[in-house]
Amino acid sequence: MKIILLYGGQSAEHEVSILSAFSVLNAVYYNYYQVQLVFITKEGEWIKGPLLTEQPASKEVLELTWPKDATEEGEFTGEKISPSLIKEDDAIVFPILHGPNGEDGTIQGFLETIGMPYVGAGVLTSACAMDKITTKYLLQVAGIPQVPFVPVLKNLWKENPKKIFEQCEGSLLYPFFVKPANMGSSVGISKVENREELQAALEEAFKYDNRAVIEQGIEAREIEVAILGNEDVRTTLAGEIVKDVDFYDYNSKYIDNKITMAIPAQIPDDVQAKAQEYAKLAYTMIGGSGLSRCDFFLTDKNELFLNELNTMPGFTQFSMYPVLWESMGLQYSDLIEELIQLGLNRFKQRKNFLVNM
């Protein structure tokens, strides 16, 4: 069977996707699968690369190039294709794409339209979980605790910034965290201590989205629970992000790697159980399938607040999601195999639903 590994993408998390894709390539059971590389450039071009039947020697195999015009010369490693040409029989797509145009339901909708099975969450789940504001309202309905927040629309902020500042300062206490509504991996997120910093942080967030969310900053540990399954949902014990920086931003995660992970987290048993319960409830509430990672804040009073659900968590060597499952006895390669089978099972189920309509 063929795995079509779809990676890169147009989001700010393009480089993270490449790192994740390389880790997946080294985890595939090549005695059962061959892997077709399909790279999405930052400009949105789709490039079909080599068909791999064994582990690649280096990450360079992922860096595909193609002639942009007839006069261009050089050694090219890919062929520019129309997206629909990835459709094949006896194949499944692994969209290892993070952020907008990959984790927000768009690519999932395309794959549904051309009738290809794929790994990970479906259209609605991906779209809801990617949007921090929508996620927060859904979790409120489920009764899952969250930190206080204020949603902000760019056009309303431009029209009357003073009103937005007063609304935030009237319902929250500094420090705040300012986040684009649709972005991951800490891209565009800022911690602010005053109104001047709040204005700069909103300007930064609005580079990535027209909607932002401002959250109450709290002193808390960060713990994460990995989730796996379709109808039969399993969770790991919680792991903890142990930081040696004040704010766990994009550079801390992927460039400087200034983090360590405590697995399992050193927390009371009842808190551990509550984190798993909330993670499963949140996953079910948004119609999760395949996988997700659920992130929490934990205060020194052992209060849990759900921060976000990530439907395509990182698969780099530093990533919490696969490491959490390894701690539960599910090795990286077996995790990839489970995700493939979950994707195939959901595809068959959806086909049956259509046939019976």
Chain segment 286-308, per-residue pLDDT in tens: 999 999 999 999 999 999 999 99
What are the phi and psi torsion angles at 176 (to 5°)?
-110, 160
Predicted TM-score of the model (pTM) = 0.89
Q: Is the pLDDT of residue 260 over 60?
A: yes
C-alpha to C-alpha distance for 38 and 46, rounded to whole angstroms:
7
- Three-state secondary-structure class, residue 243: strand
* The predicted structure's pLDDT at residue 57: 87
Examine the pLDDT at 256 and tell me if it is beyond 80.
no
pLDDT greater than 70 at residue 51: yes
| Contact yes or no for 41/9 (Cβ under 8 A) | no
pLDDT score for 253: 54
Length of the chain counted residue by residue = 357
Is it the case that residue 255 has pLDDT exceeding 80?
no
* C-alpha 140: how far from chain center: 21
Q: What is the pLDDT of residues 174-233, one digit of tens each?
A: 999 999 998 765 678 999 999 999 999 999 999 988 999 999 999 999 999 999 999 999
Mean pLDDT of 325-337: 96
* pLDDT of 73 strictly over 80: no
Q: What is the pLDDT of residue 350?
A: 86
C-beta pairs of 163-170 under 8 Å, 24+ apart in sequence: 164/202, 165/195, 165/198, 165/199, 168/198, 168/214, 169/195
pLDDT band (50, 70, 90) for residue 245? low
| pLDDT greater than 80 at residue 74 | no
Q: Can you give the pLDDT at residue 75?
A: 78
**Cβ 87 vs Cβ 116: under 8 Å:** yes
Element (H, E) at 312: none
Give me the helices (H) in the chain, please: 14-25, 106-114, 123-130, 132-142, 154-159, 161-171, 195-205, 250, 269-285, 320-327, 332-355
What average pLDDT does this structure show over 156-171? 93
Q: What is the predicted pLDDT for the residue at 248?
A: 53
CB-based contacts of 334: which residues, under 8 Å, 6+ apart?
Answer: none
Predicted pLDDT of residue 3: 98
Query: What pLDDT score was predicted for residue 12?
Result: 77
Q: Does residue 312 surpass a pLDDT of 70?
A: yes
Residue 31 is predicted with a pLDDT of 96
Percent of the chain topping pLDDT 70 = 94
Q: Lowest mean pLDDT: which of 8-12, 249-253, 256-260, 278-282? A: 249-253
- What is the arithmetic mean of pLDDT over 92-119? 94
Residues whose CB is less than 8 angstroms from the CB of residue 19 and which lie 6 or more positions away in sequence, other chains included? 59, 254, 314, 316
Between 244 and 114, whose confidence is greater? 114
Mean pLDDT of all residues in the chain? 91
Does pLDDT of 262 surpass 60?
yes
Confidence grade of residue 101 (pLDDT, cut at 50, 70, 90): confident
pLDDT-derived band of residue 254, with 50, 70 and 90 as boundaries?
low
Residue 251's pLDDT band, with cuts at 50, 70 and 90, is: low
- The pLDDT assigned to 299 comes to 96
pLDDT value of position 356: 63
pLDDT at 62: 93
Rounded Cα distance between 49 and 35, Å, is 10
